[in-house]
C-alpha cells in the first residue's frame, strides 16, 4: 500500500503520462526495490513469521555487513567500467595482518585498525598504479591480486588460523550501542537516535524543497511532500523499533549508515563524484573536458583497497579469527550486489542506493533460504538464477524505454 503511494508521489513532478506508461516507468526505475520488497514479504510468509523477528533482522545486518561495505567500494570501480577481483583475497590478507598484530603481538586494536586500513590503501595504490598509469586491464591486475594476496595470506598465517581477538575489536562487528536508561524490553538510546534521524531526514528534505522553491523550480505539492515525510518517518522509526526490541542498533549498522551517507554524498553532490561518472561514461570525452581520468582511476582503486581492508577487519572481528580462507569468492558477491543494483558493466551507470539494495537482496536470499532449510548448494544455484533474471529484467525495461 505505502509503496505504491510513494511511487505515485515520486512521479508527481513528471508531466502528464497515461497510467500504463506510469506503471511501466515505475517498474523500470524501481525494479530492484520492488524485488526486494517482494522478497521481504514472501520470506515473512514462507518462514511462518520468523523472518521479521528482531533477532533475525539484527542477524541479517551482522551477517551481510562486510558485503555491503565491499559493494560500496566496488560501485565506484564498476562506475569506471572496471572490476576488482582481488577484494576477497585482500580481506583475508588484511585479516591475517590484524591477527599477527593483535593476537601474536598483543598490539592496541586502534593502532591495528589504522595500520590495516593503511595496508589496504597501499594495496589499492599498487593496483591503481597498474590500471591507471600503465593501462593494464583491471581484470588482469586484480586477478593477479586475487592470487597474490591469497598466497601472501597463507605465508603470513603459515596455514593456521589466529584467534581470539581482543573484545574491543570484536565489538566492531558484533557489538551494540550501549543503553542509557536500561529499558527492559526496548533499547531507549536506539529509539531516540532513530527518531532524531527521522527528524533530520525530514528536515533536510524540507530545506531542499524550500531551496528549490527559492530558485523558482517546480516542487512537489505540499500533500505529496507531507506524504513523503510521513513515509520516511514510518520506515525509519519502524525499522529502528525492530532493532530496539532486540539489543538496539548494532555498531556495524552505524558504520554502514555513515558509509552509505558518505558515498551517497560523494557520488551525488561532489565534483569528484561527477568526474567518476563522466570518466566511466565516456573516458575520452571526459579527458577532453579537462578531467584527470588517471588520477580519478588511481584514487578509486585506493578507495577500494581501504574498503576491502575494512570489510576484512569486520569479517575477522565477527568470526573472531584470522583464517587463510576468509573472504573467498566474496569479490563475486560484491560485484553481484552492484550489478544487481542496476549498475552497467560498461561503466557510467549505477547508484550507491542500488548497490546497497542489491547487497540486501543477496543477503535476504541467503538468510531467508537458510531459515527455510534450503541447502547451501541449492541456495547458490537459486541466487545465480535470480541474479540473471534480475539483470535481464533491468536490461529489458531499459531497452523498452529507449525504443
Partner 1 sequence: MADYILEMKNIIKEFSGFRALDQVNLNIERGEIHGLCGENGAGKSTLMNVLSGLYPYGSYDGDIVYNGDICKFKDLGDSENKGIVIIHQELALSPYLSVKENIFLGNEQAKHGVIDWDLTEKKTTNLLKTVGLKLSPNTLISQIGVGQQQLVEIAKAFSKSVKLLILDEPTAALNEEESANLLDLIREFKKQGITSIIISHKLSEIVNVADRITIIRDGKTIETLDHEEISEDRIIRGMVGRELTNRFPDRHPKIGDVYFEVKDWQVHHPVDTNRVVDNVKDFNIKRGEIVGIAGLMGAGRTEFAMSIFGHSYGQEIQGTVYKNGQEISVKNVADAINNGLAYVSEDRKELGLDLLMDIRENTSVASLNKISKNGILDKDQEIKTAEKLNEKMSTKYTSIFQNVGSLSGGNQQKVVLAKWLMTEPDILFLDEPTRGIDVGAKYEIYTIIEEMAASGKSICIISSELPEIIGMCDRIYTMSNGKMTGEVVRKDANQETLMSLMTMEA
Q: What does residue 141 show for φ and ψ, rounded to 5 degrees?
A: -60, -45
Q: Which of 88/280 has CB closer to partner 1?
A: 280
Distance CA 256, CA 249 (A): 11
Compute the distance between CA of residue 211 and CA of residue 138 in angstroms, rounded to an integer: 42
Residue 39 and residue 20: Cα distance in Å, rounded?
24
Task: Write down the least CB distance from residue 212 to partner 1, Å.
Answer: 7
The piece of 147-155, 163-171, 244-252, 276-284 that touches partner 1 (CB under 8 A) is 276-284
Under rule CB under 8 A, residue 345 binds partner 1:
no
- Choice from 215, 222, 373, 377 touching partner 1 (CB under 8 A): 215
Among 48, 159, 269, 377, binds partner 1 (CB under 8 A): 269
Q: How many CB atoms lie under 10 A from the CB of residue 335?
A: 24
* Least Å from the CB of residue 270 to partner 1: 5
CA distances to 7, 305, 358, 366 from 91, in Å: 38, 9, 21, 21
Say whether residue 277 binds partner 1 (CB under 8 A). Answer: yes
Residue in 49, 288, 373, 377 binding partner 1, rule: CB under 8 A = 288
Q: What pairs with residue 322 in β-bridges? A: 162
**Binding segment (CB under 8 A) for partner 1, from list 50-58, 125-133, 245-253, 266-274:** 266-274
Q: Which of residues 29-58 bind partner 1 (CB under 8 A)?
A: none
Stretch 231-250: interaction string toward partner 1, x if CB under 8 A = --------------------
Q: Report which DSSP code applies to 378.
A: H
In angstroms, give the least distance from the CB of 300 to partner 1: 16
Number of C-beta neighbours around residue 182 at 10 A: 8
Smallest separation, CB 344 to partner 1 (Å) = 8
Select from 139, 206, 217, 223 the one that contacts partner 1 (CB under 8 A): 217
Provide the minimum distance between the beta carbon of 15 and partner 1 in the complex, in angstroms, as a whole number.
Answer: 8
Q: Which of residues 166-185 bind partner 1 (CB under 8 A)?
A: none
Cell numbers at residue 237, please?
522509526
Select the residue interacting with partner 1 from 282, 325, 329, 345 (CB under 8 A).
282
Minimum gap (Å) between residue 27 Cβ and partner 1: 17
Beta bridge pairs of residue 162: 322
Distance CA 274, CA 264 (A): 12
In whole angstroms, how close is the CB of 341 to partner 1 at the nearest point?
16
Choice from 291, 308, 326, 355 touching partner 1 (CB under 8 A): 291
Task: Return d(Cα 166, Cα 171) in angstroms, integer.
Answer: 9
CB-wise, 206 or 378, nearer to partner 1? 206
Which cell numbers in the block locate residue 180? 542509557
| Contacts for 395-402: CB closer than 8 Å, 24+ residues apart | 397/24, 397/27, 397/28, 397/31, 398/28, 400/24, 400/28, 401/25, 401/28
**What are the Cα distances from residue 122, in Å, to 117, 306, 307?**
9, 8, 12
Question: What is the smallest separation between the CB atom of 345 and partner 1, expressed in angstroms?
Answer: 13
Residue 278 in the binding site for partner 1 (CB under 8 A): yes
Shortest distance in whole angstroms from residue 24 CB to partner 1: 11
Smallest distance, partner 1 to C-beta of residue 35, A: 23
* 271 makes contact with partner 1 (CB under 8 A): yes
- Check residue 210 for interaction with partner 1 (CB under 8 A): no
Distance from C-alpha of 318 to C-alpha of 171, rounded to nearest angstrom: 8
Candidates 1, 45, 181, 403; binder of partner 1 (CB under 8 A) is: 403
By rule CB under 8 A, what count of residues binds partner 1? Answer: 28
Measure the CA angle with vertex 339, ends 335 and 342; round to 5°.
150
Residue with cell 520506515: 235
**Spatial distance between the Cα atoms of 176 and 162, rounded to a whole number of angstroms:** 24
Distances (CA, A) of 339 to 43, 182, 349: 23, 43, 10
Task: Give the residues lining the site for partner 1 (CB under 8 A).
Answer: 211-212, 215, 217, 269-275, 277-278, 281-282, 284-292, 344, 348-349, 403
Amino acid at each position: 500500500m505505502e509503496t505504491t503511494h510513494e511511487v505515485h508521489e515520486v512521479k508527481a513532478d513528471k508531466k502528464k503520462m497515461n497510467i500504463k506508461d506510469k506503471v511501466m516507468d515505475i517498474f523500470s526505475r524501481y525494479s530492484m526495490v520492488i524485488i526486494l520488497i517482494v522478497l521481504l514479504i514472501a520470506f515473512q510468509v514462507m518462514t511462518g513469521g520468523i523472518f521479521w523477528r528482531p533477532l533475525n533482522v539484527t542477524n541479517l545486518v551482522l551477517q551481510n555487513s562486510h558485503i555491503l561495505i565491499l559493494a560500496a567500494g566496488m560501485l565506484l570501480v564498476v562506475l569506471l567500467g572496471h572490476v576488482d577481483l582481488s577484494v576477497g583475497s585482500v580481506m583475508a590478507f588484511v585479516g591475517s595482518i590484524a591477527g599477527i598484530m593483535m593476537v601474536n603481538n598483543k598490539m592496541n586494536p586502534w593502532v591495528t585498525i589504522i595500520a590495516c586500513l593503511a595496508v589496504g590503501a597501499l594495496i589499492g595504490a599498487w593496483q591503481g598504479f597498474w590500471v591507471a598509469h600503465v593501462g593494464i586491464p583491471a581484470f588482469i591486475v586484480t586477478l593477479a591480486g586475487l592470487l597474490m594476496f591469497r598466497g601472501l595470506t597463507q605465508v603470513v598465517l603459515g596455514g593456521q588460523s589466529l584467534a581470539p581477538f581482543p573484545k574491543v575489536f570484536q565489538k566492531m562487528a558484533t557489538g551494540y550501542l550501549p543503553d542509557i536508561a536500561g529499558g527492559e524490553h526496548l533499547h531507549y538510546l536506539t529509539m531516540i537516535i532513530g527518531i532524531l534521524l527521522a527528524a533530520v531526514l525530514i528536515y533536510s528534505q524540507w530545506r531542499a524543497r524550500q531551496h528549490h522553491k527559492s530558485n523558482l523550480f517546480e516542487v512537489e505539492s505540499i500533500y505529496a511532500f507531507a506524504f513523503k515525510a510521513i513515509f520516511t518517518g514510518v520506515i525509519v522509526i519502524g525499522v529502528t523499533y525492530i532493532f530496539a526490541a532486540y539489543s538496539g542498533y548494532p555498531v556495524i549498522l552505524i558504520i554502514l549508515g555513515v558509509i552509505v551517507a558518505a558515498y551517497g554524498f560523494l557520488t551525488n553532490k561532489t565534483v569528484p563524484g561527477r568526474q567518476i561518472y563522466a570518466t566511466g561514461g565516456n573516458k575520452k570525452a571526459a579527458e577532453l573536458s579537462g578531467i584527470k581520468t588517471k588520477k580519478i582511476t588511481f584514487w578509486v582503486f585506493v578507495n577500494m583497497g581501504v574498503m576491502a581492508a575494512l570489510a576484512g577487519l569486520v569479517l575477522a572481528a565477527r568470526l573472531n579469527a584470522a583464517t587463510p580462507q576468509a573472504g573467498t569468492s566474496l569479490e563475486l558477491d560484491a560485484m553481484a550486489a552492484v550489478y544487481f543494483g542496476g549498475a552497467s558493466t560498461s561503466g557510467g551507470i549505477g547508484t550507491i542506493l542500488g548497490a546497497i539494495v542489491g547487497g540486501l537482496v543477496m543477503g535476504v536470499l541467503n538468510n531467508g533460504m537458510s531459515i527455510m532449510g534450503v541447502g547451501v548448494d541449492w541456495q547458490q544455484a537459486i541466487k545465480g538464477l535470480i541474479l540473471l533474471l534480475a539483470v535481464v529484467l533491468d536490461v529489458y525495461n531499459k531497452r523498452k524505454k529507449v525504443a
